[in-house]
Structure 1
Amino acid sequence: MLKRLYPRSIRARLTTIATVVAAVVFAVASALVLINVPDNLYGAVDGRVDLAVRRVAGETRVGRLPQALDVPSRVQLIEAVDDRGRIMGVSPGLNGRHLPAFPIARSDVVYSAERKLTGAREETEADYLIKAMRVDTPRGPVTVYAAASLSEVNRATRLIHTVIALGVPLVIVLVGVLTWLAVGAALRPVSRIRSELAVITGQDLSRRVSVPTTDDEISQLAATTNDTLDRLERSAETQRRFVADASHELRSPISALRTQLEVANAYPDETDWRATGARTLASAERLASIIDELLMLARLDAGAVPDRRAVDLCRLAEEQARRREGGRVPVVLHPCGPALVHGSSVQLDRLLTNLLDNATRHATSRIDLEVAVEGDAVVVTVTDDGGGIASEDRERVFERFTRLPDARRMDKDGSGLGLPLSREIAVAHGGSLVVAEHEPGARLVARLPLYRP
């Protein structure tokens, strides 16, 4: 039930919270005002009347009471009466009337009462605070009465009640309206961004949301949204290009394999099945190699984390050099010590395989392989003495399916995925792979974080 009553929109929630907080604050403040202000006003009148009674009683006690009593500020009526009802002193405002008497038990004690009177300034009866005090005088006991009107206190109290009864709800409503308008104005750019995002589809990621000039959180949100759309557009374009290039690269070995099988099937008596089997096996191996590289790239793109452990790159390099003994180009492994990296041994071995395969295709007489620990990094360097890589192509070679003219000429069966996959593996392990400046030939340098158990 509470969940259904709770507002769904941020605007309604903030307005509700602001209104409830304002209502609580004004309710507490109103309660404090209603409790304290009337009491303070009443206390001020009580204090003035009490002081007037005591002053006149003091004069009466020593026998200095004049017949016409001076009226203190805001104490309208004063009267001194003996036990037989004779007036010993009176203020001008009484005009021959008597203040109402009430029982007084002890002398020198001030007693209070409220009565309805018609004062000197009122035409109708009004509430008065009356105080009385009996004192003993040389002529006998005398009772002093003093009265002050409570009209101002009552008017002030009624005004406070009226202001609170009418003003507080009005202020609460005003707070709610202002909060609703202010939050609406603050969220208007968000609504515009949402509307603009709603029309952006996967087929057209070129559109961007408008960025407000307010330089606040909303403008930062819009800027971040545009940055995200930029990355999505680049990712979508890369994916489309990747799919197109993958289709093209896979079509070639599949077409070659199909052609060879169709020719062999059409002329079975004239076919050298041993040679045909060798050629189809080579095409199948190339197809399997491309698929393996594509699958590994897909896993890296998806952020898949394989089982990782401490891997000694020096040992992997030794195994690579041993496997390549007797090849077209010798691999010279420089002496190295333990170089531990925390990662996947399969992926790291694939990184070395791709770098050495690339160097083998371009090298003329020698490939140098170095593994060294430099500070907190393990540096793997593969250097060949081939034609090298032009400076403008040193980043292009890491684009998927990118093959430079020299690479196409030297190896028609390449896929253009080796170096991009190697860089993805290095980045996935927190490192990097770059083409360094070197003459003659090319030098590729991979830097990976050193693992310290």
Structure 2
Amino acid sequence: MIRIFPRSIRARLTTVATLVAALVFITTSAITLAAVPGSLRTAVRTDLETAVGWVAEQARTGRLPAQLNTPSSLQLLQVVSPQGQVLAATPGRPLEPRLTTIRPRNPGVAHVTEHLLHHATDARHHHCMVMAMLVRTPEGPVTVYGAASLDRVNTVLGRLRALVFLGTPLILLGVAGVTWMIVGSALRPVERIRSVLAEISGKDLSRRVPVPDTGDEITDLAVTANTTLDRLERSAETQRRFVADASHELRSPISGLRTQLELAAAYPDETDWPAAGARALESVERLTGIVDELLMLARLDTGVAAERRVVDVCDLVREQVRRRAGGRVAIAAPPCPPAPVLGSPLQLDRLLTNLLDNATRHAAGRVEVVVEEDRDEVVITITDDGAGIAPEDRERIFERFVRLEEARALDKGGTGLGLPLSREIAVAHGGRLVLTDHRPGARFVVRLPLCPD
């Protein structure tokens, strides 16, 4: 495929600017060359007609002087009899022969032609516009002649043509050069940004592109690039920390399971196999829980959309309370009307499971779950009567693998993924999960968009 314009933005803009300038200059030059010559000749003819008309009026009234007062814009004025005798003329040239052989027949009508006339004072020939007009006088008809030099007009037109045909290419070259320099100067920050971005690798995301102080779109581009690099650096750091924490959390149950199996294999006769199997099963269940939560977090992080349908949150809460009946902590769930939301039943059930597990783990003896509608939202409130969480830790508990000292003391097998996963699920469903003030204990509030009928 043939390219009309070059690939480089700098070259393309220079080409376009030069073509536009060429179109403007060519159009303007054509209009100028077409209009200026006629305008200049019209001005000369107007002066000539004025002077000839003035002399003709003097001759008509019989007040014709021997020497005619000639304007500086004219070369010569003459009044000639029908016999060819010069009756009056411009001072200093009274004996000139008639300017032209034109003999107009209609009185008062001007006849115009152009001639080369010899000027005695400077021995030069002048290109002149010559006008003749027949006038009736008391002594008989006479012919008034006038001559205006076109040398100045020709000089102006010559300079104009030279300016057009020689100056236009020079101007276009100047436009191209200035455009090339201006565009190059404007794109120089882009080149610096590109070179820095080319040097940034996944191993070192701490570098940032230079931000020019021009305040234009390139500044916005640099700021956006640095913002993106900030997000990438945070994401990479979160991923590295996530992998390190996941490896650490998985190492403990795997090491415990391996130790148990190695001891059982080393002393088979002294091993209580049912107890060893139960302990191994607990370790496997903990591993399964960690892996399931990691997989769900990974899906949420990558934006994989789960199958969604209308889910009644009240049904999910009732099922959770039914499964936990008879436990250490009493769970109270007041009756609630249908609260439909559009979401994944599996993920919403995991959200409630994690929040209720956390509440029952910290509660002294009672947990309350309330579901209600607030305008266009379904609000789920889970309150326990435990020791509560310090204000400075209320956001930390939603970070992955973060476990407070109290949580570690209450449950050594926790993963630190339950609350972060719950918040991710709420956000993925267009809602939010927060920890609000409550005494005693803690209160988690989930807000999800209400699904209309």
Q: What is the TM-score when the length of structure 1 is the normalising length?
A: 0.91
Within 1, Cα distance between the matches of 2:41 and 2:165?
21
Tell me the CA shift for residue 318 of structure 1.
1.8
Structure 1 residues 279 and 87, CA, compared in 2 at 3 Å: closer, same or farther?
Answer: same
SS at match of 1:118: strand
Letter in 2 for 1:58: E
Structure 1 residues 368 and 91, CA, compared in 2 at 3 Å: closer, same or farther?
Answer: same
Within 1, Cα distance between the matches of 2:419 and 2:107?
113
Q: What is the CA deviation profile of residues 190-219 of structure 1, one whole-angstrom value per residue up to 9, with x for unaligned ones? A: 222222222222111122233334444433
Within 2, Cα distance between the matches of 1:300 and 1:338?
27
- Structure 2 residues not aligned, in runs of 5+: none
Within 2, Cα distance between the matches of 1:374 and 1:120?
110
Tell me the CA shift for residue 149 of structure 1.
0.1
Aligned twin of 1:71 = 70
Within 2, Cα distance between the matches of 1:415 and 1:300?
18
1:360 matched to 2:399? The reply is no
Aligned twin of 2:16 = 17
256-265 vs 413-422, which moves further: 256-265
Q: What is the CA deviation profile of residues 28-62 of structure 1, one whole-angstrom value per residue up to 9, with x for unaligned ones? A: 22222222222211110011112222222233334
Q: What is the CA deviation profile of residues 398-446 of structure 1, one whole-angstrom value per residue up to 9, with x for unaligned ones? A: 1111122222222222211100000111122222212222222222112
Aligned twin of 2:445 = 445
Structure 1 residues 39 and 12, CA, compared in 2 at 3 Å: closer, same or farther?
Answer: same
Within 1, Cα distance between the matches of 2:100 and 2:191?
74
Give yes or no for contact 1:368–1:382 (8 Å, CA) kept in 2. Answer: yes
Aligned twin of 1:376 = 376
Within 2, Cα distance between the matches of 1:441 and 1:28?
84
Q: What is the CA deviation profile of residues 307-355 of structure 1, one whole-angstrom value per residue up to 9, with x for unaligned ones? A: 3333322222122212222222221112322323333232222111110
Q: What is the CA deviation profile of residues 208-238 of structure 1, one whole-angstrom value per residue up to 9, with x for unaligned ones? A: 2333344444333333332222221111111
Q: May I ask how many residue pairs the two structures share in their alignment?
A: 452
Within 2, Cα distance between the matches of 1:218 and 1:198?
17
186-195 vs 34-43, which moves further: 186-195
Within 2, Cα distance between the matches of 1:106 and 1:161?
39
Give yes or no for contact 2:88–2:94 (8 Å, CA) kept in 1. Answer: no
Aligned twin of 1:184 = 184
Tell me the CA shift for residue 122 of structure 1.
4.5
Give yes or no for contact 2:86–2:95 (8 Å, CA) kept in 1. Answer: no
SS at match of 2:119: coil
Cα RMSD for the two superposed structures:
2.4
Tell me the CA shift for residue 105 of structure 1.
5.2
SS at match of 1:380: strand
Within 1, Cα distance between the matches of 2:95 and 2:31?
43
Within 1, Cα distance between the matches of 2:8 and 2:371?
60
Within 2, Cα distance between the matches of 1:368 and 1:88?
131
Aligned twin of 2:233 = 233
Aligned twin of 2:165 = 165
Give yes or no for contact 2:426–2:446 (8 Å, CA) kept in 1. Answer: yes
Aligned twin of 2:46 = 47
Letter in 2 for 1:13: R
SS at match of 1:92: coil
Within 2, Cα distance between the matches of 1:133 and 1:308?
102
Aligned twin of 1:410 = 410
1:114 matched to 2:117? The reply is no
Letter in 2 for 1:443: R
1:203 matched to 2:203? The reply is yes
Aligned twin of 2:27 = 28
Percent pairwise identity: 58
Q: What is the TM-score when the length of structure 2 is the normalising length?
A: 0.91
Give yes or no for contact 2:394–2:435 (8 Å, CA) kept in 1. Answer: yes
Give yes or no for contact 1:61–1:136 (8 Å, CA) kept in 2. Answer: yes
SS at match of 1:336: coil
Within 2, Cα distance between the matches of 1:332 and 1:107?
125
Within 1, Cα distance between the matches of 2:422 and 2:347?
9
Give yes or no for contact 1:76–1:120 (8 Å, CA) kept in 2. Answer: no
1:344 matched to 2:350? The reply is no
Within 2, Cα distance between the matches of 1:121 and 1:370?
119
